[in-house]
Every structure is written in structure tokens, then in C-alpha cells.
Amino acid sequence: MYSFLTTGNWPDYELIDSGNFEKLERFGKHVLARPEPQAIWDPHLPASEWQRANATFTREKGSQEKGQWKIKPGTPEQWIINYGQDGLKLRFRLGMSSFKHVGLFPEQDPNWQFIYQQTKQRKAAVPRVLNLFAYTGAATLAARAAGADVTHLDSVKQVNFWARDNMEASNLDGVRWLVEDAMKYVQREVKRGNKYQGLILDPPAYGRGPNGEKWQLEDELNEMLKLCQQLLDPADHFFLINLYSLGFSALILDNLVTEIFPKTHQTREIGEIYLHDRGQRKLPLGTFCRFAT
């Protein structure tokens, strides 16, 4: 089933406007303007509204990601926002990084809900969930809040510290933190014969492991998914993958999942994730595939 997912009513987050390859967002009380390569249309709001942003990110010349924030006086570099939907309540520490990110991808709200609900539906008394390329841990915390034994893996130690801060802010504990290369870890887990009731992946287009291991999405994803298939509990599992890579169609995911995973799941959703702004433009922010037994 092809689907479009978007965030629900979230008081602490709003996509205010988008256009001219930028997006204007509110996180709690603070409004940020930062680059967005897929917002190719004109902004809905006048420039005066954009100029009210508390912080604006400007790219360095020759770089697609790296740059600097121009922060207005009185705007903190870090702050906490709240999230709550259908029984899942979390808190996130945000901060302005030199790569335009703030430590959270709000469009993932419907997938956090999927993780939370599917974890609670597992037959296992304490479901085991593995979150790969886990970043600052929103998906990790959704699974943990539902009672899972969660392994959180990311190759960047500082990102894991950030995720731990989010865990503590959300009054949770007990997550297993790993600074590892995802491919090497999954290969070892397959050899050990370990099984998981939940698998979550949010791989980047390009990345490096802690020892310089190279990750290139189009080269590695096929093998990674084959290994993940071997890690899933055949009778009791959920699976979720997100991709944010320009030009990487949901049809590619459809082909891979159809080929690799046996058709033992009841439903499969595949499609696009987006956010809508006040002008009701839909800003695409990646593709996803998810299913469960």
C-alpha cells in the first residue's frame, strides 16, 4: 500500500513556511530558518515574517551542509521541547549544529507512533529492538517507552551522548548504547544467531563508521537489508526503514523489500513522508517502508 505520512497536531513544532530552498520552522518558542533543497517553490509568507526568525543558517560556499547560524540576542543555543501523541510522551534537547541540523527530524512523528504501538503489540514479554543509524534517539525512546529492550547504535559518540540526554529528559533509562559501524555489527549479530522483534533503520546517503568504515547508501543497502531479514524474529516482528536521499525513489525500497523479505507480514506500507506549511504546500522529506507480523 502506497502511503503519505505527515505529523499530527504537535503544539511544540510547526513548519511555518517553505520556499526558495529554505524552510521556516518553530521549535517550542523559537523560530528557525534553514536550507531545504526540495522547497523549490516561492514562499507563502512575506520576507518580513522570515526576518523574525530567532536564528538563520547560512551555508558555507561550496558546501551543501556545513555553515553557520546567525543567532539573535536572547536566543539559547540549546533548549527543550515536548512531544506527546496517543500516550507517548517524550522530551528532546535541541541545539544548533554546524550542519544545519537541530537534533530532531519532526516529520518522523508518525513513525515514532508506529514504533510505539508495534512494540506494545509484540508477543514477546520484553521485545528486543535494534535501532541502526540511530542519531539522537527519538525512535529509540519510542520503543523504550513501550517497554522494549533497546539497542541504540550510531557511529558518532557525541550523538549517542545527545541521545542519552534525550532519554534522561524523557524520564527513561535502560537503553544499550553502541558506537559501532552498523554493517559490521549486524554481520556479527547474524553470526551469533541473535533475533529481534523490532528493527529500525535510518541510514544516511553517505557516512563513516568510527574507524573510517565507508557507508554509501546505493552500494550497501541491499546487503544491509539481507542481513536484517536474518535478524528478524520470523513469527513476531516489526520493521521500519527511512531514507532521505534526493532521487532515491520509494520504488527502490519496494523492489528491495519485495525481493528480500518473505511475505509473512500482514500489511506493508511504503511511500513518502512530508510536512505541510501554513500555505498547505507539502514538503517531501524522504521515503519509508514499514511492516509488521
Per-residue H/E/C for 35-72: ECCCCCCCCCCCHHHHCCCCEEEEECCCCCCCEEEEEC
pLDDT at 77 over 80: yes
Tell me if 68 is assigned to some domain.
Answer: yes
96 Ramachandran zone, left/alpha/beta (phi>0; psi -120 to 50):
beta
272 is in which domain, residue-wise? 103-292
Residue 220: CB atoms within 10 A of its CB come to 16
Task: Write down the pLDDT at residue 157.
Answer: 95
Instruction: Write down which residue in 24, 45, 78 finishes a domain.
Output: 78
CATH number at residue 35: 2.60.40.1180
Amino acid at 105: F
Q: Based on the structure, what is the number of domains in the chain?
A: 2
β 267-276/2-6 pair status: parallel
Tell me if 92 is assigned to some domain.
Answer: no
Question: Are 283 and 208 found together in one domain?
Answer: yes
Question: Are 164 and 235 found together in one domain?
Answer: yes
Note the pLDDT tens digit of each residue in 235-269. 999 999 999 877 788 999 999 999 999 775 567 99
Note the pLDDT tens digit of each residue in 183-216. 999 999 999 999 999 999 999 988 888 888 888 8
Question: Are 19 and 123 found together in one domain?
Answer: no
Question: Are 164 and 236 found together in one domain?
Answer: yes
Task: Write down the pLDDT at residue 125.
Answer: 96
pLDDT at 65 over 90: no
Global pTM value: 0.95
Question: Are 191 and 55 found together in one domain?
Answer: no
Tell me if 90 is assigned to some domain.
Answer: no
Tell me if 145 is assigned to some domain.
Answer: yes
Question: Are 70 and 145 found together in one domain?
Answer: no
Question: Are 135 and 45 found together in one domain?
Answer: no
